[in-house]
Chains A and B, each alone.
Chain A
């Protein structure tokens, strides 16, 4: 394929998984187990196509035709529907940013599907699972290639649906069903901000198209409130999807979903959509310094809070969930500090090592049938590949020199260092906690002696279908960082073609970063590995702090309190007002008043009109009444009858008066 045609056919990247989803759903009874290969095939195609695009852009073989954003891009769209003279469009926007994201999403999705072949084998809803994964892949790609903010929102909501369906995939368990609903409602709450942001964009900026928006923002002077409100509202949505404080509460519970789902959706791709949104619309944020500050602060506070919660967690998946929240905080902080490349760089490396961590956790859970790390221990002998790859990922995320996380985190920290020392301090502290809880989780799971012999003895290394993705991701965790760092072209490529500002934190950043990595490792070793183990003594000594952290700062309690004491009572009160007061008292009261009035008029009719005026004709009236009553089954006709009579009367009167 030539350089341009590979871009023009990029429509097929999202559409292939959609087609796979439909086919799997339609034929899953007939095709049985084998049908799911369609999903893998479609995703593999999408991956290869994305990779070709990325290579083309990187090597310069696919020159991007359009200029006018901050650099070069390729855009193509169709009109979806029009209202008046306004066109709502769907399309694709290919540039460095989206091509990077395409590769990340399709690769992780493919590996996760390979892994799931073994992990989900024998599940009653095996086919449905793969259909959902394909639907997710489609939705995520729709979001990634969007040239239009509305299209992003559509993909955004659809990945939310997939997340809901997959968290609650084992919906027979109440916990899973509740977790799915919690995720949906929490992110939907945040999405209201996104929604209002769209309303603002439509009415004040006049287009949803991203390149046009960029043009508009840079060439027209807008009031500050608008420039600030739009990115902040969009960021509100991003906070929900990327689980930033205070919307982070859904992500730990999302671990109720099957572990490969956690790897794909709740670690590598969907939760990174918020970061991607900020990066994609970076020019909006840059136009409003306040919004950048908010992004930076929310990100760094999230990084610290989530990391601290990870320290006291005993469920291996939830440790990783808190870690994800924390790392997403790093990315947000980087973006907020102006480190555009740093944020996206960290997103890419994080996708690899965090997906790896989750898949390793899945491998362990598959073997020992529990999430509780206190029931594991010593598994490195039983599961050498899993233990080794988990260690590689741990070293990558904690910032061990020359692994992928080391380079990306360094860029993040540098960006913060140059922007704001306090934010930098928060991130350094979060890095220390990261190192601590990650090594803790490795020690508790793989090192030491097995704490439950029964489980330990039955644990075996997972089959090749599961270990193969681990090895691929481990390789990426080892090499990706250096590859990015030492290929200057790549930085150019991610950064939308605009000149890259060399962020070099210098020795302070590298030194501190390395110091907290070592400190975290030593700390975790000292607390959990050196005899006698000290965590009981430590938790007793700092019991107050421990309680606060392990209660997760009471975010959940606060929300439940609001829901239980304000939301539900208010809706019940309103429903009662509607039924008892408005309907039963006011409306029926008016009706009763009408009845009373007609009773009075009957009294008058009977007592005055009838008796004194039309006495003689009473018998006829009575007979007529009886006849009429027989003809009628209810009030309805009599009303109609009188109405028609009245109408006729009115007409007679009207025509007589002219």
Chain B
């Protein structure tokens, strides 16, 4: 099923919205909110509809759009989705819409705020549907600027520092991605007729699989590392994660939701979309390093979260831990067929479930912060008696995050572990690292239970008497869909897993070189 222009429509709809916003009155916050809601709601509805049109039995790209763009450099406007990108596209449009609703509480410079937010959505959606490396790069950079301003203007006390750190960190990585991209371009052909160069990601992967990419050994590894650096910063993988807690603490709640829910996934997506298929040899060489980094992310992130006093910082570090599970699953790609499938499916599913769960955890912390103006974990106590609805939502999402079966986090996490345990490369088994990583599960349980205990249970802290109303309608509208999805995906993960099966098979074939 191909609907021409559908993906472009999705990509540029939010941009149109931000264009319209420019012509609105500066003071009319209500109008800004309505425009933003419409232009983020529509893409969500369209992407939902696409679910009925998406054929999960088809291997390869769907909804493809391909136009020449800068033909002297063979740059094309090439869009398409497969089972890898489609779930992420759904996640992006959903979380964008929910974050826009959650942003209704913002009343400072709303016009600019929603302008940047919609621009950000265009960048994110574009990134996940772009099949031309140059286009991918453009969207990658586009997401950077709105994020910079959203943190830098609407953030907390140290917003400028956080914003510039986020910006420079990511930009530093982008430079290497740029170099890697050019290297791939020049390796893709001689430039003579019959051997044109290309930025096309699909074509590049094909060339690589046929051994026609003139890139091998050390230079291939250099290119891989360049790409990895850019992606690792975004994920964030140890030791490039330090911008994350800071950015989260300073960012306003809805921006944190997008940051954790979508932006981090761009890194994993980049690796799976670009590095894995195009640089299989280097990927295989890198797997032993990847499993170590994954283990560090998981254990280190969990322990750091354990020590935090600021709840938002705690959830931020838990993201470091949870993105580690993605890396863990991805490292399984060369394992036995069952393990490889489980690991990669788990990694992709983990991106989705982490987006839903951690997105809602940031909303939950935001709910408390809006009322109490503090996120200090020791400042509360016994809230469950006063705000039972909130307590219920928080307990469910915390349980989901610590991997309770029946909720979304369990299946993805478990698949990542299943895969990693069977992963190996050149006879090096990864089971030891998977075994060490289970410590992360325990520590995650410990800090989430600590959070529940200190905030919700025990004696009610009289300081908050009368200051803690339960969830408002707007908060319910943002939280309940995420809670519902967390339960639905926990009970019926096939909803997402079925979409990605072929894409996973493709990635495994590309990396292993067995067709």
Contact = CB atoms under 8 A, between A and B. Distances in A.
B106 interface: no
Most central of A84, A196, A203, A647 by chain B CB within 10 Å: A203
A206 B494 CA distance: 21
Given A203-B421, A587-B242, A83 B341 contact: yes
Interface stretch (B4-12, B46-54, B298-306): B298-306
A655 interface: yes
Given A84-B338, A161-B399, A575 B449 contact: no
Contacts of B422: 199, 202-203
B459 A86 contact: no
Contacts of B182: 650, 654
A636 B145 contact: yes
Given A189-B442, A582-B239, A587-B242, A83 B405 contact: no
Given A571-B307, A658-B191, A181 B242 contact: no
A157 interface: yes
Interface in A564-603: 568, 570-572, 574-576, 578-579, 582-583, 586-587, 591
A177 B73 contact: no
Contacts of B152: 634
Given A582-B239, A640-B141, A188 B341 contact: no
B239 A574 contact: no
Interface stretch (A166-174, A241-249, A411-419, A462-470): A166-174
A188 B434 contact: no
B307 A174 contact: no
A192 interface: yes
Contact of A158 (B246, B405, B441, B446): B405
B338 A635 contact: no
B19 interface: no
A81 interface: yes
A575 B317 CA distance: 10
Given A84-B504, A570-B303, A157 B342 contact: no
Given A80-B494, A157-B404, A192-B442, 7 more contacts: A80-B493, A82-B497, A85-B338, A154-B405, A177-B453, A571-B303, A582-B239
A168 B457 CA distance: 9
A541 B245 CA distance: 60
Interface string A172-196: 1110011001001100110010011
A594 to B, nearest CB: 8
A572 B167 contact: no
A174 B406 contact: no
A651 interface: yes
Contacts of B20: none
Nearest to A79: B494
A639 interface: yes
A203 B336 contact: yes
21 contacts: A83-B501, A84-B338, A157-B405, A157-B410, A158-B404, A172-B382, A172-B458, A177-B458, A181-B453, A196-B435, A199-B418, A199-B422, A202-B338, A574-B304, A583-B246, A586-B239, A591-B165, A635-B168, A643-B171, A654-B182, A655-B72
Contacts of B246: 583
Contact of A578 (B174, B304, B382, B414): B304
A12 to B, nearest CB: 17
Interface in B141-195: 141, 144-145, 148-149, 152, 163-165, 167-169, 171, 174, 178, 182, 191
B208 interface: no
A168 B337 CA distance: 44
Contacts of B494: 80-82
A86 B342 contact: yes
Interface in A316-348: none
Nearest to A150: B414
Contacts of B459: 172, 174
Contacts of B178: 647
A153 interface: yes
B431 interface: yes
Contacts of B446: 185
A199 B434 contact: yes
B304 A84 contact: no
Contacts of A576: 307
Nearest to A639: B171
A81 B453 contact: no
A15 to B, nearest CB: 12
Interface in B340-390: 340-342, 345-346, 382, 384-385
Given A195-B417, A655-B72, A171 B338 contact: no
Nearest to A170: B457
B130 to A, nearest CB: 17
A207 to B, nearest CB: 10
Nearest to A200: B421
Contacts of A583: 242, 246
A196 B438 contact: yes
Contacts of A586: 239
Q: Interface residue tally of chain A, by bracket? A: 35 or more
Which of A185, A571, A579 has the most C-beta atoms of chain B within 10 angstroms of its own C-beta? Answer: A571
Nearest to B415: A83
A173 B382 CA distance: 9
Contacts of A158: 404-406
B456 interface: yes
A634 B166 CA distance: 14
A98 B191 CA distance: 70
A185 B445 contact: yes
A192 B456 CA distance: 27
Interface in B216-271: 239, 242-243, 245-246
Interface in B427-473: 431, 434-435, 438-439, 441-443, 445-446, 449-450, 453, 456-460
A574 B300 contact: yes
Given A81-B494, A158-B406, A185-B446, A655 B418 contact: no
B339 interface: yes
B417 A199 contact: yes
Contacts of B167: 635-636, 639
B308 interface: yes
Contacts of B411: 81
B505 interface: yes
Contacts of B458: 171-174, 177
Given A202-B338, A570-B303, A575-B304, A171 B456 contact: yes
Contacts of B163: 634
Interface string B126-141: 0000000000000001
Contacts of A651: 73
A308 B163 CA distance: 61
Given A157-B404, A634-B148, A591 B431 contact: no
Contacts of A172: 382, 385, 457-460
A154 B144 CA distance: 41
Given A171-B458, A181-B449, A574-B300, A84 B341 contact: yes
A393 to B, nearest CB: 33
B303 A574 contact: yes
Contacts of A654: 73, 182
Contacts of B415: 83
Contacts of A206: 338
A252 B491 CA distance: 33
Contacts of B145: 636-637, 640
Nearest to A590: B172
Given A171-B456, A172-B459, A181-B453, A195 B441 contact: yes
The 8 closest A-B pairs by CB, nearest first: A84-B341, A575-B307, A583-B242, A177-B457, A203-B422, A199-B421, A154-B405, A571-B306
Contacts of A85: 337-338, 341
A86 B341 CA distance: 9
Given A168-B457, A174-B459, A572-B307, A83 B239 contact: no
Contacts of B191: 658
B153 to A, nearest CB: 9
Contacts of A174: 458-459
A571 B342 contact: no
